[in-house]
Chain A
Amino acid sequence: MTLFALLGALEQGLVYGIMVLGVYLTFRVLDFPDLTVDGSLPLGAGVSAVLITQGMDPSLTLLFAALAGFVAGMVTGLLNAKLKILHLLASILTMIALYSINIRIMDGPNVSLLGVRTVLDWWIEAGVPPYYASPIMFGLVAVAVVIALTWFLHTEMGQAMLATGDNRQMITSQGVDTDKVIIFGVGLSNALVAFSGGLIAQNQGAADVNMGVGTIVAGLASVIVGETVFGANSVPRAVVACILGSVVYRIAIALALGMKIGSFSFTPSDLNLITAVLVVVALTAPAIKKRFM
């Protein structure tokens, strides 16, 4: 693996890591498998890209991207909590609805950001080599989000959210409206995912309506790989493990894609298969380890 490939994997791992934190929030904290993310990632990308082309400051557009993601997540939360639609189905409904909405927002299937100023230009103008700019930028953002999320999960509200995912009867008996917690929590999760989507669009120079396909699988793979490799004994540890898991996942993908056995090599279309195998291995690793120890 070359240094460039490693830097590329690191950059991808960090920027998608913010999305992974969103997946962690629903999948682990709220115990709410949420497929909205496949739609809210391109939503954030689209909102950010469109606003940039209309002349808004690139970093400010990320705020609106997050806000749009928050609303999308709230819709899923509302469908589940108020209309009593099964969580998985509620999130699929929002996800497919977002496909249409994203095309409306972008007024087409994609928006190009070539030759437009993005958040990364600030670093490059400051003299940082372009291939270091994005790992540094995304690393700093990831650290900031990790700190913010860890802080939040230790507040009264965050503790109520953890309790909602753990034991709904208990926290209801403590006077908490779990419907509100779910609506807000799924919203917050998708705000992170859309924020990540905005950064990804600015990094790759385009937003595309299909860029969200497989987000949930990558997110789950990263959460599980992170837990298996780095542990999840406490909230801060689990949150950091999400980012590290995301980096490990992207490196594993890069290694697999770069592998050559005789005349055989993987193509990007094999990515889904590799991811599925990776998740199965990560899920069963603890049990297998136990059996042989």
Chain B
Amino acid sequence: MLKLTNVTKYFHRGSVNEVLALKDISLHVRPGDFITVIGSNGAGKSTLLGAVAGSFPLDEGTIELGGVDITRWPEFKRAKRIGRVFQDPLLGTCASLSIEQNMALARRRGKTRGLSRGVTGKDRNLFRTSLKEIGLGLEDRLSDRIGLLSGGQRQALTLLMATMVRPDVLLLDEHTAALDPKTAHQTVLLTEMLIREHDLTTLMVTHNMHQALAMGNRLIMLHQSEIILDVEGEAKQDLTVNDLLARFYAVKGEEFGSDKMLLT
């Protein structure tokens, strides 16, 4: 489905601030994979998702999606086949537009936008039904501005919008990190529901090791711009937080105990 081959990305290349953000990453994501991505700060988790989404050009390597080389596709073109939810709840929706207008924009993802009505009656019925399913009471507030909603509501809506047109790959970039624990939990449940319902191939970045273990069928760990762990299926189910920490230090050959960098 999604295939990264020898992907390398530098930021500020050639300057004193040069950072190697992705180092020769190769990853083969199979259809239906739900991969959780963990790693310490600056390990390259978000950069990995950015590389897939096309937020920046790569220095080396190729990315294939469904057998098509998309390495040189601009971000908006990839968006036709990729759904994305950001850490910042404000990034996924337009504050000055209404709920239905935002959803209508998402419903036309990947289609040519012409001079027909932005929001149709058919759209509204569809939005009401899908909003009812997520149970936030938003189905009666279709014409409310997004700016009136809370961060959690906006994030739930962004999730719904990212999956409204079924994406080939869903990218979740720490999408619960900015929410309070209760809202984060609800968002996790909604995420699982939508992924199951649409049978989505997913890459989910998280800081929370418990979350990374509980969700998905496969887990990869990034450290210093490299993938240092890739487990799936039963091997992943048997994994515990302590295993993760132990394997992390075993692979890196560092002393066990300074787990701060992983837990923050």
* Residues in chain A near residue B94, CB distance under 8 A: 162-163, 166-167, 170-171
B117 interface hit (Cβ, 8 Å): yes
Q: Would you call A166 and B76 a contact (CB within 8 A)? A: no
Evaluate contact between B91 and A156: CB separation under 8 angstroms: no
Query: Which residues of A150-164 are within 8 A (CB) of B?
Result: 152, 154-160, 162-163
For the residues of B in contact with A, the DSSP-based class is: loop
**Residue of B90, B93, B95, B113 touching A156 (CB-CB under 8 A):** B113
Q: How many A-B residue pairs have CB under 8 A?
A: 84
Given contacts A172-B76, A175-B80, contact A159 B91 (CB under 8 A): no
Contact at A175–B77, with CB atoms within 8 Å? yes
For chain A, give the interface size range. Answer: 20 to 34
Stretch at the interface among B56-64, B104-112, B188-196: B104-112
- Contact status B79-A175, CB under 8 Å: yes
Q: Is the CB of B115 within 8 A of A155?
A: yes
A173 interfacial by beta-carbon distance below 8 Å: yes
Residue in chain A with minimal CB distance to B95: A166
Q: Indicate whether A178 reaches chain B with its CB closer than 8 angstroms.
A: yes
Among B91, B105, B161, point to the contact of A169 (Cβ < 8 A).
B91
* Interface residue? B84 (CB, 8 A): yes
Collect the chain A residues with CB atoms within 8 Å of residue B91's CB.
167, 169-170
Give the docked Cα–Cα distance between A285 and B109 (Å): 40
Distance between B135 CB and nearest chain A CB, rounded to angstroms: 24
Given contacts A175-B76, A175-B110, contact A170 B93 (CB under 8 A): yes
A160 & B113 in contact (Cβ 8 Å cutoff):
yes
List A contacts of B118 (CB < 8 A): 154-156, 158-159
Q: How far is the CA of A121 from the CA of B110 in the complex (A)?
A: 49
C-alpha gap A155/B112 in the complex (Å): 12
Q: Which residue of B has the minimal Cβ distance to A178?
A: B76
CB atoms of A174 and B79 under 8 A apart: yes
* Overall SS of chain A's interface: helix
Q: 1/0 per position for A136-156, CB-CB distance to B under 8 A?
A: 000000000000000010111
Bound-state CA distance A171–B80 (Å) is 11
Q: A162-B94, A174-B79 are in contact. Are A169 and B86 (CB under 8 A)?
A: yes
Return A27 CB to nearest CB of chain B, in Å: 14
Least CB distance, A191 to chain B, in whole angstroms: 16
A162 contact set on B, CB distance < 8 A: 94, 96-97, 101
Residue from A154, A167, A178 in contact with B95 in the complex, judged by beta carbons closer than 8 Å: A167
**Does A177 lie at the interface of the complex (its beta carbon under 8 Å from any beta carbon of B)?**
yes
Residues of B within 8 A of A176 (CB): 76, 113
The complex places the Cα of A166 from the Cα of B90 at a distance, in Å, of 11
CA distance A171 to B92 in the complex (A): 9
CB neighbours of B106 from chain A (8 A): 174
B121 to chain A minimum Cβ distance, whole angstroms, is 14
With an 8 A cutoff between CB atoms, is B74 at the interface?
Answer: yes
User: Which residues of A are found within 8 Å of B96, using beta-carbon distances?
Assistant: 162, 166
Produce 1/0 per residue, A194-218, CB < 8 A to B: 0000000000000000000000000
Evaluate contact between A157 and B93: CB separation under 8 angstroms.
Answer: no
B80, B97, B111: the one within 8 Å of A166 (CB): B97
CA distance A156 to B111 in the complex (A): 10
| Cβ contact within 8 Å between A155 and B116 | yes
Residues of A within 8 A of B101 (CB): 159, 162
- Whether the Cβ atoms of A155 and B114 lie closer than 8 Å is yes
- Chain A hits for B111, CB < 8 A: 175
Q: Could you show 27 A-B contacts with beta carbons less than 8 Å apart?
A: A154-B118, A154-B119, A155-B113, A156-B104, A156-B114, A156-B117, A157-B115, A159-B97, A159-B113, A160-B113, A163-B94, A163-B105, A166-B94, A166-B96, A167-B91, A167-B93, A170-B92, A170-B105, A171-B94, A172-B79, A174-B105, A174-B161, A175-B76, A175-B111, A176-B76, A176-B113, A177-B76
4 extra A-B contacts, CB within 8 A, seeds A156-B104, A156-B117: A155-B116, A167-B94, A169-B86, A178-B76
> Which are the 5 A-B pairs with shortest beta-carbon distances?
A159-B118, A156-B113, A175-B79, A166-B94, A175-B80
